[in-house]
Structure 1
């Protein structure tokens, strides 16, 4: 777990740019004076004597005890994310969904109530509908454009407001500042899944979020190699999440943490290209006769274009569109793809096309999918780092 920083370290990093901190904020060098952070592939740590062991387990001193609790590699990764998001502390998990579940489980009690945006990742929705009711935790949904309806739905037992922005898979944009104000007014915990934007494009804490969650599997890794998750935010809330996770064991492996920490060094330059390619693809699709509609946050036709520009540095890597002709045309499109990958991941250097209705959101009923704008012909493209002309050529031939 990353602890709150000392004043001197915070001032030092605040004077540097995002890209510099992503590269230069690393572990102290060992006696070997390595330039790149080494891997600490150890499950446990040794103690100098009996008193050192006792004091360490009693948490009277800050040191690594067991890698389920903390490890130098996971600490470096979490510290980098905290710097990027402007967070006080954080904890890293074995996957994005481990981060989502553990964050909820640590903060909620039986009888509590969640207010969630209706448009969220399919597995998060399954937590709400299939598992939380077993523990007497209720969830109500609000529409992305109906914040008045959200406030009217707040109950005496409401504990959390939860949202993604941009949303998965429809890339809708929520007003984070307005949500933050509502949460503060009613003394609620405001949690944002920032996976689609990454901390390079958007920092929800600036708009009032208490906690920010990422699937490190996506843009943070950027090459489809590892699973990871991380939650960062207010230190008192992270302490509860840490205590829960220390016992239940969803911690990130040191090797994956090392990979991710290295990946963050190139986050900015990678996402700049992702966004450049995605905008060009969205503009191409907007004028294609075989496409009914296109949504991308920095496309001027997006209903929340101005809000997206206020909250985000650029539009991200995901473009959503609907193939003209429904399910049959959609299947023909996917079967005709040659270069791009048919996969359920996103944020990869390789461009990926996904059919949300039959993959990531297949566990939702048809009615639930329609409520969040997931049609049978909807396509989600995670635009990668290949040459944009080759990406457009492949999608163009598949549409034809």
Structure 2
């Protein structure tokens, strides 16, 4: 089946079927977990051709693996990409992409409130090797365009952002990046290919922490990059030499999770919107960050480039961090953990989750309040989640005044 031709309008079907047909074995209906490290060949010339990529096959699982290849193909099709390659974690995908594309003396333009690990690359690791990282105010597209116009090798975007759910206009900024010859990279973890396809909006590469919504069950680490074939080829080469390979069992779990991706995202979109509305009207809540709300600063952009607004929201309570500290232990239907995108609701504050590596000063510079609560909505009955938040907020009101 040519799933690229079947792609338009059938993402739920692709999430179930794409990438799996050639990877099955002896009539099995599921992709097998291939745990072999090496792959044998009687003919040395055939072995050599496989090693050079001149014919299909595998030689060593740090390079390629049948189970991993099926996962990569599923993501490639869902994102409408030319090629994809995978990694052991989302941060391995992000860092490998940047280290492949950038060299000493290069300039990168991005925004201030990216995920904490990504921000550390910009502030700490890239400058060590002579790469300039310019971080702009996330909501100021004019500032981003001015910095891009000065020249850059990479324009790195994350939308919606983690954890403040800001939205960047991908088409507008990709056009600005391409005017100066930049490679435009978009972290699509929060949106997923069900809600948003950055490549169709002009991006060159898309990265995912597959650990989150793609897998959806909080039981497998992984990352993936997809996009232009020439760029992905270089990133794959960096990964095969540096070794941050996705292992077969994790690839299998991610594949299994992705079969329900469209169903999960639909439910999480609906749940998050209902919960955002509830919180918006609560007297203890100071502000809610969710791109599906009409009050969101970039609501018009989100409506234009997203099919759904995602399963993550964040909110700040009146009373700041002490109120947030009081709230979390009272929640009965949420894991207090450093993860998101799972079928179970997960909650935390940035200083223990997304930006645990950052200092309080760095979080402040990124516009992240210490009392912000990040709430990753699961697939539970939304009325139960709202009731849980309501009872917890009542207890907070009683405890903090």
Q: 1:331 aligns with which of 325, 344, 362?
A: 325
Deviation of 1:10 (Å): 5.5
Deviation of 1:290 (Å): 0.7
Counterpart residue number, 1:9: 2
d(CA) in 2 for partners of 1:157, 1:182:
10
Counterpart residue number, 2:272: 278
Deviation of 1:31 (Å): 5.8
d(CA) in 2 for partners of 1:319, 1:55:
49
Structure 2 matches for 1:1-400, cutoff 5 A?
Answer: 9=2, 12-14=5-7, 17-25=10-18, 26-28=20-22, 32-154=26-148, 158-400=152-394
d(CA) in 2 for partners of 1:378, 1:126:
20
Q: Deviations over 1:294-349 (max 9, x none)?
A: 11111121111121111111110111110111121121112322331101100011
8 Å contact 1:357–1:378 — kept in the other structure? no
Deviation of 1:121 (Å): 0.4
Runs (5+) with no aligned partner, structure 1: 1-7
d(CA) in 2 for partners of 1:256, 1:289:
43
d(CA) in 1 for partners of 2:9, 2:166:
32
8 Å contact 2:315–2:372 — kept in the other structure? yes
- SS at 2:296 equivalent: coil
Query: Quick one: structure 1 residues 289 and 192, their matched pair in 2 at CA, closer, same or farther if it must change by over 3 Å?
Result: same
Q: Deviations over 1:20-44 (max 9, x none)?
A: 1222221326562111222211111
8 Å contact 1:112–1:157 — kept in the other structure? no
8 Å contact 1:96–1:228 — kept in the other structure? yes
d(CA) in 2 for partners of 1:10, 1:350:
31
8 Å contact 1:357–1:375 — kept in the other structure? no
Per the normalisation by structure 2, the TM-score is 0.94
Cα RMSD for the two superposed structures: 1.7
d(CA) in 1 for partners of 2:179, 2:380:
46
Deviation of 1:15 (Å): 6.3
8 Å contact 1:113–1:155 — kept in the other structure? no
Runs (5+) with no aligned partner, structure 2: 395-401
Per the normalisation by structure 1, the TM-score is 0.94
Aligned residues: 393
8 Å contact 1:170–1:320 — kept in the other structure? yes
Deviation of 1:49 (Å): 2.2
Counterpart residue number, 1:5: none
d(CA) in 1 for partners of 2:299, 2:150:
35
d(CA) in 1 for partners of 2:309, 2:50:
46
8 Å contact 1:173–1:304 — kept in the other structure? yes
d(CA) in 1 for partners of 2:365, 2:216:
30
Counterpart residue number, 2:399: none
d(CA) in 1 for partners of 2:106, 2:330:
48
Deviation of 1:259 (Å): 1.4
8 Å contact 2:23–2:67 — kept in the other structure? no
